[in-house]
Structure 1
Amino acid sequence: MSSAADSDAAACPAGPEEAAAASGEAWSPVAEEWAARWGRVADPAREEIVRRAGIGAGSRVLDAGCGSGELAAQLEAAGAAVSAVDAAPGMVALARRTAPAADVQLAAIDRLPFSDGVFDAVIAVNALQFADDMAAALVELGRVTAPGGVVAVANWAERARNDLDTLETAVALDDGDDPDDLVDLDYRLPGGLEALFAEAGIAVEWSSTVDVPWSAASDDDLARGVLLGEDDDTIAARTPILVAAARPFATPEGGYLLRNAFHVVLGRVPR
């Protein structure tokens, strides 16, 4: 399972909970480990969004694709009235523990169980790519946002800005993938998220690139983070490949520091 979470979501069945179960099934078994290894990585992007969106006491905010609940907890601490959704039951259970005052529901990001215009801000961090149609999902995020409210999205930037992709490329090449197929998806390129916002009819107010470093304390931590969800035999077999690829990122302490980046876009729903 890719730590960057760039795989496509499954097609959604009829209701929000059924849709969530289909698109989030793979993430429940690894929810605890994902939270431990990756849950805080997006914090710099989250903090920038909360600050620029002016979220504070009384703000009605939806964390769309909440994962293990780190953003929801941050929003709670800011005094917001927080709702959150995720497609994986395991993530929902974690988020309810992480952000106990939030209303956390099982739902897919493109099938939200809320009425029109009920939130002052809707935020999706490393989640929009799980929708079958990212622009349509942005329309859905805008639907539940009040006129004049904020929609904000943060996703992994282009491969060249992410040391993590060096490691994932090494694994893909070991799998026999064609190097020519290892290219950026449009939404990861500069301007890609902005184009999706334009397609969804949400005016971009601010966009930037935010550094989101990730560290691993040892060879084993490195391999288990990159190969999240794989069995022990696979991890043991792939560790030498990852260690070789990660040599430029080694630290004097015997661990690794990978410098990565998110593109962050904040838009405003028309009044």
Structure 2
Amino acid sequence: MSDPRERIRVSARLREGALGLLPILGLVGIWQAVVSLGLAPPALLPAPGTVLARCLAQFANPEFLGHAGATLSRLAVGFLAALVLGVGIGILAAASPGVLAVVRPLVRVLAPVPKVALYPAFILTLGFADASKIALVVADAVFPILLATLQGAAMVEPKLVWAARAAGTSPRAALLRVVLPATLPSILTGARIGLVVSCIVVFLAEMITSTDGLGYLLVRAARSFQTVDMFVPLIAISGLGLLLNGALGLARGRLLRGFPEEG
């Protein structure tokens, strides 16, 4: 890490990470104060230390890890499918006025619809297994990715495409070599939003109908009034989202290293 600019970027990220911990520590402090002052009964709000001890025990439990793996699998498949669909449709719509004329009104109508309302239809058509949950993740996560792709493609300088076409590049090659790379910052921003949405939706789907996964564990604990065990899946899905978002952030830094805003 001999590059001074790289050292500055790493230092800035470390400071941001340290500052980001402060609100979390403050929230835990308030939680502990509420418990210590007896403002909430332990049966409803266990102490942070009790929850932490249970988390450490469960994170080493193969059964719990199996449930977490089921959630991660559904999340990954749904998010990647949404990413492919969102980017693919967005780039095609940017390249073709006809496709854009079809896509734009559909997005305006469907994007505001709460996709969880479609979940019963997904269950009826795809069953109670993973397919219906993955379909719900795709239906919810695809729109922020698609909208970000459309926005990014609309901001590409037309002169770049004209120059590529004048140099003999085919329309398809110009789309892949000029428009797609220039749209990458917007795509990755939409992907980070879609990832957060995917975490929320897969957890919700497992709460509604599932026999495994982190959402199922929360519902199972709630039915038996095991409040400590209710906190563990919530912390696990939060940590999982944090790790995935961090990984996507690292990938963004590498992919956009040559862009001015990343310099």
The two structures have a TM-score, normalised by structure 2, of 0.20
* Bigger radius of gyration among the two: 2
The two structures have a TM-score, normalised by structure 1, of 0.20
Greater strand fraction, Structure 1 or Structure 2: 1
Greater helix fraction, Structure 1 or Structure 2: 2
